[in-house]
Amino acid sequence: MDNTRIDRHRLWASLMEMAKIGATPKGGVHRLALDDDDWTARDLLVQWCREAGCSVRVDKMGNIFARRPGRSVAAAPVMAGSHLDSQPTGGKFDGALGVMAALEVIRTLNDLRIDTEYPVELVCWTNEEGSRFSPAMLGSGVFAGVFPLVHGLGMTDQDGRTVGEELKRIGYAGREEVGGSDVDSYFEVHIEQGPILETEGIDVGVVTGAVGQRWYDVTLTGQEAHAGPTPMDMRRDALLGACEVIDAVYRSAVDNGPDARATVGHMRVYPNSRNVVPGRVTFSVDLRHPDDNELARMDSVLSEICLKVLRERKLELGLHQLFHFPPTEFDAECVGLVRDAAERSGYSVRDVVSGAGHDAIYMQRVAPSGMIFVPCEGGISHNEAENISLEVASAGCQTLFNAVLGRANRERRAA
């Protein structure tokens, strides 16, 4: 057992202090990317990082970096962090836990006067949620070269304000170039946002990777007709066709093992009148699987059922794939380090695959990365009721501490 311990009460106090910024009556937070509350939260984070002796930098995407120097000046930093922005009715731990845990790691290294070989760097990413500005994970995406900087700065909210303008308004349009700098590795603690760890009574989820995703817009077009005089076999009912497609897609997920997901979360029916046979239906399909071949199999189920329905129901089809995001595998060494880190502190562990997007997924494209999941109550997230206990928060933070320290104090390989 490793008896090094983070200060869990200080971690909790920081989480609760941060949760006051943008607090909602139901116990959540409303802290949209680059709004006044995000501004206040950023200022508080920067103040805390400076008080912990870190040098703070901000890049042109508003990503915040706070570095605790290592013995080796030339070494790239071991990074840890997450995001402080929230959904409109978000919880107080999604994102904030990863940032506050990284801060607690630095504070603990200070308390214990531990020198690390590599610098340890906290990072707070801009616009992870994708709620005010789409897409999600914008700051880390630009950092990892997934989107160009001009694209990131040019994204607009519903009122037409751009990321670039809002960064200037709140004073977080930094001077530093985005990405391109050397990163030794990246670790992120996050609430699971699902029910598996809690259901199985596991303390820490060792995240081995993230599912691949395929998103589609489907339009089926038939013919509107009077609900009374039109016999069933003479209809071109677009909604009936949609039901068959949705049923097949859902079944393909159930048949594809416990890690497959299919969701139809959005649908429009035209003309949406109770006594008119629906002439047109548009709906979304979201397919997820950790194995790209299985995901491709689910994709062919979708296209085959669409073709069958259009033949048999005499419908017209529009099938548009919005994006294909391949599965991510986190770095084996970082994953192993996270597992050891949790076990060393006596936590029960289980390998998990992230079903959601996270900054760490983009970071894995530019640096060896790993993630730590902790259970959240009822698996509920993106909800003001989102909750974890002090013990759960500290299990995630202690695991992060062990992993970061292990990585930052490993022997430097000759370049």
Residues of this chain that bind Zn ion (CB under 5 A): 94-95
Cβ proximity to Zn ion, 70 vs 90, nearer residue: 90
Q: Closer to Zn ion at the Cβ: 95 or 290?
A: 95
Q: Tell me how far, at minimum, the Cβ of 334 lies from Zn ion, in Å.
A: 19
Compare residues 94 and 224 and give the one whose CB is closer to Zn ion.
94
Whole-number Å distance between alpha carbons of 333 and 69? 23
Integer-rounded Cα radius of gyration of the chain: 24
Question: Which of 321, 383 has the CB closer to Zn ion?
Answer: 383
Least distance from C-beta 359 to Zn ion, angstroms? 8
Q: How far apart are CA 382 and CA 131, in angstroms?
A: 11
Q: Which is nearer to Zn ion, 276 or 380 (CB)?
A: 380
Shortest reach from residue 250's CB to Zn ion, in Å: 26
Mark 290-320 as b/e (b = at least 16 C-beta within 10 Å): bbeebbebbbebbeebbeebbeebebebebe
84/305 with CB nearer Zn ion: 84
Task: Using CA atoms of 375, 377, 378, 381 in order, give the dihedral in degrees to the nearest 10.
Answer: -80
Taking the C-alpha atoms of residue 348 and residue 205, their distance in angstroms, rounded to an integer, is: 9
* Rounded-to-integer distance, Cα 82 and Cα 124, Å: 5
Q: How far is the CB of 129 from Zn ion (least distance, A)?
A: 7
Pair 265, 257: CB distance under 8 Å: no
Burial of 231 by CB count in 10 Å (0-12 exposed, 13-18 middle, 19+ buried)?
exposed
Nearest distance in Å: CB 191, Zn ion: 8
Min. distance of Cβ 95 from Zn ion in angstroms?
4
C-alpha dihedral sign at 401, 121, 91, 266: negative
Query: Which of 67/92 has CB closer to Zn ion?
Result: 92
Cα 66 to chain centroid, rounded: 21
- Closest distance of CB 190 from Zn ion, Å: 6
Cis peptide before 326 (omega within 30 of 0): no
Rounded to whole angstroms, how far apart are CA atoms 198 and 307? Answer: 41
Distance CA 306, CA 317 (A): 7
**Minimum separation from the CB atom of position 127 to Zn ion (A):** 11
Q: In the bound complex, what is the minimum distance in angstroms from residue 167's beta carbon to Zn ion?
A: 20
Question: Which one, 94 or 121, has the nearer CB to Zn ion?
Answer: 94
Compute the half-sphere exposure of residue 60: CA atoms within 13 Å on the CB side of its CA. Answer: 15
Q: How far apart are CA 15 and CA 93, in angstroms?
A: 8
User: Which of 137/277 has CB closer to Zn ion?
Assistant: 137
